[in-house]
Structure 1
Amino acid sequence: MIILLVLFAVVIFFMFRRSRAQQKAQQEQQAKMLPGVEVMTSFGLFGTVQSIDAEDNKVVLEISPGTTATVHRQAVTKIITPAETVEETPMVPDDASSLTGPVQAAAEPGEAKDVASTETAEETLARLNKENNKEQ
C-alpha cells in the first residue's frame, strides 16, 4: 500500500515538474515575441508580428503585404525569426548601375587589366579560346 502511494506521489511530482517547464518555455517565448518577429501559429499560419495587445491576449500578424490577421496570443506556437536576427530589408537600387564595375582578368600571369574598357570583342574571343585550350 505504501509503495503505491509513493509511486503515485512520484508520478504527480513529475507531472507538475513537466508542467512548470512547459510554462517557463512558453513565458520565454512570449517575452521574445516582439513586433517584426516572424512566427508560426498552431494552425500553420506564418506571419510577421505587427502588434501585441497583452491586455486582450491578441496578436496582429501580417501574413502577406497589406493583409493582417488577429489571433489569440497562445495560438502563436513557434518563433521563426528571433528578435535578435530581425533586420531591416537591405536597400536595393532601382537600376543595376551599382552592381557593375570594371572586371579584372589576368592578361599575363601576375598582371591584371581592365577587361571592360580595353578589350575588344576579338581580343575577348581570343582570350577565351586560349583559356579553353589550357583546360584541355
Structure 2
Amino acid sequence: MNPVTLLPFIVLIGAMFLMTRSAKNKQRQAVQMREQMQPGSGVRTIGGMYATVKEVHDDTVLLEVAPGVHAFYAKNAVGAVLDDDEYNRIIHGIEPEGADADEETPAVPDDASSLTEGDAEQAQDEAKKTDLTKADGDAAQSGKDKGDSETK
C-alpha cells in the first residue's frame, strides 16, 4: 500500500489522540477541584447558581443557596469552587483588600448623604423637571385632542 494513502488516516488518528488527551486532562482537573471542596467554600453550579458548601458527602454536596435554604446537589453539578475573595466580590459586592478604589468608584453616590446643599437643590430641581404625573399626562393628552379637533 502506498504511504500517501495512509497519511489522512494517520493524521486523523493523531488528532483524535490529542483531543481525547486534552479532554481527559480537563476531566481530571474537574475531579480534583471537586475533591478540594470543603464546608464554607463558595461554589458556582453548572446552572450558574452561587452557593456556600455546608456538607460534603461521597457523591453529593449540601449547599446553602440562600440564608437558611439548603439543597442537595450532585458533586458533578458543581462547576467551579471559588476562592473567598471572588465569592465575596460576586455575592456581597465586597472588593478584596488592596484593590484599586479608583477603578470601580461609582460616578454617582449610592445615597444622598454625600451631597452638599447646592447639589441637593440641583437634584430637587432636576426631579421637578422630570416629574411625570398623571395630571401632566392628561394635560398632554387633552392638548393633543385639541390639536386633532382643530385639524378636522
TM-score by length of 1: 0.55
d(CA) in 2 for partners of 1:45 and 1:13? 34
Number of residue pairs matched by the alignment: 82
Runs of 5+ in structure 1 lacking a partner? Answer: 83-136
% identical aligned pairs: 25
* Residue aligned with 1:34, SS: coil
d(CA) in 2 for partners of 1:38 and 1:12? 36
| Superposed displacement of residue 72, structure 1 | 1.2
Match of 1:10 in 2: 14
CA deviation string 1:49-98 (max 9, x = no partner): 111221xx21110112211111111110011226xxxxxxxxxxxxxxxx
* Residue aligned with 2:48, SS: coil
Deviation >2 Å, runs of 4+: none
Match of 1:67 in 2: 69
Confirm whether residue 39 of structure 1 aligns to residue 53 of structure 2: no
| Superposed displacement of residue 23, structure 1 | 1.6
Judge conservation of contact 2:34–2:81 (CA < 8 Å) in 1: no
| Superposed displacement of residue 11, structure 1 | 1.1
d(CA) in 1 for partners of 2:49 and 2:40? 16
d(CA) in 1 for partners of 2:63 and 2:13? 43
Match of 1:134 in 2: none
| Superposed displacement of residue 31, structure 1 | 2.1
d(CA) in 2 for partners of 1:78 and 1:27? 11
d(CA) in 1 for partners of 2:31 and 2:45? 16
d(CA) in 2 for partners of 1:44 and 1:19? 22
Match of 2:28 in 1: 24
Match of 2:120 in 1: none
d(CA) in 1 for partners of 2:13 and 2:6? 11
Match of 2:89 in 1: none
More strand by share: 1
Match of 1:80 in 2: 82
d(CA) in 1 for partners of 2:9 and 2:66? 55
* Residue aligned with 2:51, SS: strand
* Residue aligned with 2:70, SS: strand
d(CA) in 1 for partners of 2:31 and 2:76? 10
TM-score by length of 2: 0.50
CA deviation string 1:8-31 (max 9, x = no partner): 111111112112211221122012
